[in-house]
Chain A
């Protein structure tokens, strides 16, 4: 049962890991992108649209592995990249308020997702209010063939689809990039002190754009993973829930480090579903337990603020627009 719990916790955690890795990259450039929930939502629905159109055009019998994977993947990346681009254009080029822009983008993203979700449901003529993409999802959920034979070890470590491993690889790469490479150093400088970075000859706007758009694309994959893998290819409106906000909370929990975020995401995932594994509790207690990731985040925030380690603080210019003329 424990192996099963961990397995579910990881499945639950992977979308959060995508979201938080993307948000960490974004925030390291000084952009506080509160549009992440909307961007993950758009990432999910874009994948669904692509996959739906592909399945419809070739018929369920003729679906091939490669296009079934690539089409939703590319659609999802393009959709979330566009969201990131809107955010950057508004906050970096037009210097709009980051919080307002982010919240607007979340509202927009959810509305966008629900609109197209609803339209597709209508097109598919389903009786239930959802779209089922079982064929595509089966491709996405392919795991290593021998994972089932290795008992609990296979269940805990090897039983996931490729996107889950990609999430962990991306988090590790992001972590290495931030700490060990010149690009990482420059990016952190942009988020800490854009004026310093500018004086050192770093193109602040370019770094902000690239980090935010790449971050959005990574976050969008979280939405795709949720639909195609976690939800077995079934899209219904608003099922994605609070995962976007959990991803943002996870950024704080992980003190802006993608490697810690890997463990944090599994912990959050576990806390989110643990109520299913506790026998005989009523619905209200379940909801209370679901709240625990946020409480853990608040506790971490308090501890981190009390310890006052400068490295664990958010990037110093997070949330601020950069004007070169201001000194």
Chain B
């Protein structure tokens, strides 16, 4: 019988109270591609980090070629010929590809020319298209990824793990990568690929293992399954969370976004013709796989990024007039009397200053108030005390640096400050990420309160169960395209799951039309 290249038995890993992986079993044979499928936060990367020696499992065993092994560091993993290609490249920009590939090796004598020849040989063998003497900073993302793969192959890896390798690639580059991976499989290597894109799973892999919220759901043979059943395995059945949801009252259009286009610094189209309306007294959820353009969308509305096309119209509740926010800075928006609150994803990076205390952080929003030379510290102090009381922030006092608070309390301070600005539009990106259950519910209640006060709330979330119980409408975006806007009360989980991956197909269709 065939001995599997790598086998995981009952792997469990917890971080504090959070169970990242629970009793996971995997088997990968040589000459086989296994996909690991799961939503964001389902524990895919944690699991792979345990194989590559970055984390150590709390329980369970790892078998390589049928023998139980202990992998304590990335170096151990190398020794068992396991190579991991991370989502974030670890390359030195000013070095050539060959220099990056030989970096850190000790065994062979140092001869860059010979190394370059050997790299070229591997390139020819698997059909990689990269010049070993080219500098990394001159390379495209896909070339950089190739260098990462070459790096592990050069070290003799025959078990390859790729963490969301296609997230950064164009469809054409993805096809190229898949061709290379198939060639490596035929060469007898065992390949594990982490992904949440269903059509890639179906077109590339031999087997699929599905994880959901850290739990191992099962493994199926790709040829015997289809998109619907995989989606069901991935998102699971609906779970009731008992979040109160009131009917929207006197809803009117507040923020109208039309045909928004945005290209990032690398010239990649992040948002493609986004149109939607946020209504007062309503929570609009935004669902989508991480990196589908949610962050950019909110930052454009907040005035932090400039869109390349499209309009953002704001309907002023006092005058009833429509005003254009398209190319305004945050300060200009505020000076127009528009009260826009934004709770960014990166709390301590964009939202608060970690080394300053709660009072000073309150002042970040009100520093320009008052006329005198000296700052008015009394009002922010009062506000800080209010927030601590009302939101039950656990802190020794208003003069504690924010960075010393726990994640949940940091978020309460930030949300509290933004609510205190009496917004008419309230945007929150992943406001409950990293928060425990109780803190999460506090945040949900705050959002609901805002909604009842007639605020137009935009909520970017990752947990579909929460989105379905909290939001009145859910807009699904995928690869920068709005795939649909559905009623939060009638939405089905499977339907959302499919909508979340539909953008890529649309994109590909468009690409074909262009040709």
Q: Which residues in A have some Cβ–Cβ distance to B below 8 Å?
A: 181-182, 185-186, 188-189, 192-193, 195-197, 199-202, 310-311, 313, 316, 327
Contact = CB atoms under 8 A, between A and B. Distances in A.
A195 B99 CA distance: 16
A188 B99 CA distance: 11
A197 B105 CA distance: 11
Contact of A200 (B88, B104, B110, B135): B104
B102 to A, nearest CB: 7
A201 B94 contact: no
B95 interface: yes
Contact of A185 (B74, B90, B93, B102): B102
Chain B interface bracket (under 10, 10 to 19, 20 to 34, 35 or more): 20 to 34
Contact of A196 (B78, B90, B135): B90
B103 A197 contact: yes
Interface string B78-102: 1000000000101111110001101
B137 interface: yes
Contact of B75 (A197, A201, A311, A316): A201
15 contacts: A181-B110, A186-B104, A192-B92, A192-B93, A193-B91, A193-B93, A195-B90, A196-B91, A196-B92, A199-B74, A200-B104, A200-B105, A201-B104, A310-B93, A310-B137
B348 to A, nearest CB: 13
Given A189-B92, A201-B78, 8 more contacts: A185-B95, A185-B102, A188-B94, A189-B104, A193-B91, A197-B103, A200-B103, A201-B106
Contacts of B99: 185
A192 B93 CA distance: 8
A185 B102 CA distance: 9
Where chain A touches its partner, the secondary structure class is helix
A220 B93 CA distance: 32
A185 B115 CA distance: 14
Contact of B90 (A181, A182, A188, A193): A193
A193 B106 CA distance: 19
Contacts of B94: 188, 192, 310-311, 313, 316
Please name the 6 residue pairs, one residue from A and one from B, whose CB atoms are nearest each other, closest first: A200-B104, A182-B110, A196-B90, A201-B104, A192-B92, A200-B103
B103 A192 contact: no
A182 B75 CA distance: 19
A201 B90 contact: no
Interface in B102-126: 102-106, 110
Contacts of A327: 88
Nearest to B136: A310
A310 B103 contact: no
Nearest to A313: B94
B104 A202 contact: yes
A310 B74 CA distance: 30
Nearest to B94: A310
A189 B135 contact: no
Considering residues B93, B102, B104, which has the most beta carbons from chain A within 10 angstroms of its beta carbon? B104
A90 to B, nearest CB: 21
B93 A186 contact: no
A188 B94 CA distance: 9
Nearest to B111: A182
A280 to B, nearest CB: 49
A192 B137 CA distance: 12
B20 to A, nearest CB: 16
A202 B74 CA distance: 12
B87 to A, nearest CB: 11
Contacts of A192: 92-95
B93 A197 contact: no
A188 B110 contact: no
A310 B92 CA distance: 11
Given A196-B103, A200-B104, A188 B75 contact: no
Nearest to A202: B104
Interface in B470-506: none
A56 B499 CA distance: 88
Nearest to B78: A201
Contacts of A195: 90
A41 B507 CA distance: 65
Considering residues A201, A202, A311, which has the most beta carbons from chain B within 10 angstroms of its beta carbon? A201
Contacts of A200: 90, 103-105
A197 B93 CA distance: 12
Nearest to B73: A201
A200 B92 CA distance: 11
Contacts of B91: 193, 196
Contacts of A202: 103-104
A316 to B, nearest CB: 7
Interface in B40-67: none
Considering residues A188, A189, A195, A197, which has the most beta carbons from chain B within 10 angstroms of its beta carbon? A189
B100 to A, nearest CB: 8
Contacts of A193: 90-93
A140 to B, nearest CB: 37
Nearest to B75: A201
B93 A189 contact: no
A173 to B, nearest CB: 16
A310 B104 CA distance: 22
Contacts of B137: 310
Contacts of A197: 92, 103-104
Interface string B293-304: 000000000000
B481 to A, nearest CB: 30
Contacts of A313: 94
Contacts of B92: 188-189, 192-193, 196-197
Contacts of B93: 192-193, 310, 316
B95 A201 contact: no
